[in-house]
Structure 1
Amino acid sequence: MKCPCNPSKLYIDCCKKAHQNILSVTTPEELMRSRYSAFVMANINYLQESHHSSTRPSETEKKEILTWTKSVEWVKLTVIKSTENTVEFKAFFYENNSLNTIHEKSSFVKENNHWVYKDGL
């Protein structure tokens, strides 16, 4: 299976490592890519684990995210810029037969000795 974050790589050689062990993630971009793949695969537990404890979605929000991510068709991820603690990206998806884009500059920090998503603008 091709990896959702980068179709030129196999999932087993890319995001699967992060999904099985978040401690294997070494950069914010790697975490962001693994989170995109988790959205595509509706891996809500990984999305929760990779989210900072202060901004982590509640159980109700977690269920809403799961429902939403299963209702859209993910198309592709484009990384625009990656720095020491931020990643700017565009994620493309179809919802209600319309192509949509999430354009975000995400912030990442280390918590419990691994990278986590803090917030995004």
Structure 2
Amino acid sequence: MARRSARPSRPPRPAVPTMCPCGLGVPYADCCGAFHAGGATAPTAERLMRSRYSAFAVGDAGYLLRTWHPSTRPAHLDLDGSVRWTGLDILATTGGTAFHSEGTVEFAAHYRVGGEVGAQRECSRFLREGGGWFYLDGEGGPG
């Protein structure tokens, strides 16, 4: 009888969606999926925020780390596979365009964990360096 080695139980990675989770109403591959794959970079702070939300929704911790400013980026990031991200509302933006080096995006990211629903509200700060936008930090919490 063959022995099986015990493997740690990991939550399944979410399936790649057809439509982009960021809420713009376009296919994932033509939207945030292109940023996640490295074929394009987010042109504004808001688009970076949307792509980071989508990265949480599809379980792409690598993209989240790559788009996190080196001065505040953690060494590693463990995503909670039990969280199902259900929607994103952009509440306000300041700066964050091609004409700016800084920007903020205030948002509410809606989620479900088990039978409970919630929202993460934050005002995130972004910096543009070397032609790319990076998440710096944010203030806020569950809403």
Map of 1:1-121 to 2, 5 A cutoff?
A: 1-6=18-23, 8-21=25-38, 24-59=41-76, 62-63=77-78, 66=79, 68=80, 70-84=81-95, 85-121=103-139
Return the alpha-carbon distance in structure 2 between the equivalents of residues 8 and 23 of structure 1: 18
Give the TM-score of the pair, scaled to structure 2.
0.75
Are residues 83 and 7 of structure 1, via their aligned partners in 2, closer, same or farther at CA, if it must alter by over 3 Å?
Answer: closer
- Could you list the runs of 4 or more consecutive aligned residues of structure 1 that deviate by over 6 angstroms after TM superposition? none
Whether contact under 8 Å (2:127, 2:135) holds in the other structure is yes
Question: What TM-score, normalized to structure 1?
Answer: 0.88
- C-alpha deviations, 1:74-111, integer Å up to 9, x for none? 11001111221000100000123111110111000023
Q: Answer with 1 or 2: which has the greater Rg.
A: 2
Secondary structure in structure 1 of the residue aligned to 2:92? strand
What residue ranges of structure 1 are gaps of 5+ in the alignment?
A: none
Deviations 1:1-50 (A, max 9, x none): 00001162111221112112275211000000000000000000000000
Question: Unpaired runs of 5+ in structure 2?
Answer: 1-17, 96-102
Are residues 24 and 7 of structure 1, via their aligned partners in 2, closer, same or farther at CA, if it must alter by over 3 Å?
Answer: closer
Give percent identity, aligned residues only: 39
More helix by share: 1
Write the distance in 1 (CA, Å) between the matches of 2:138 and 2:57.
19
Q: How many residues are paired up?
A: 115
Counterpart secondary structure, 1:2? coil
Structure with the largest fraction of strand: 1
TM-align CA RMSD: 1.5
Higher relative CO (Cα under 8 Å, sequence separation at least 6) belongs to 1
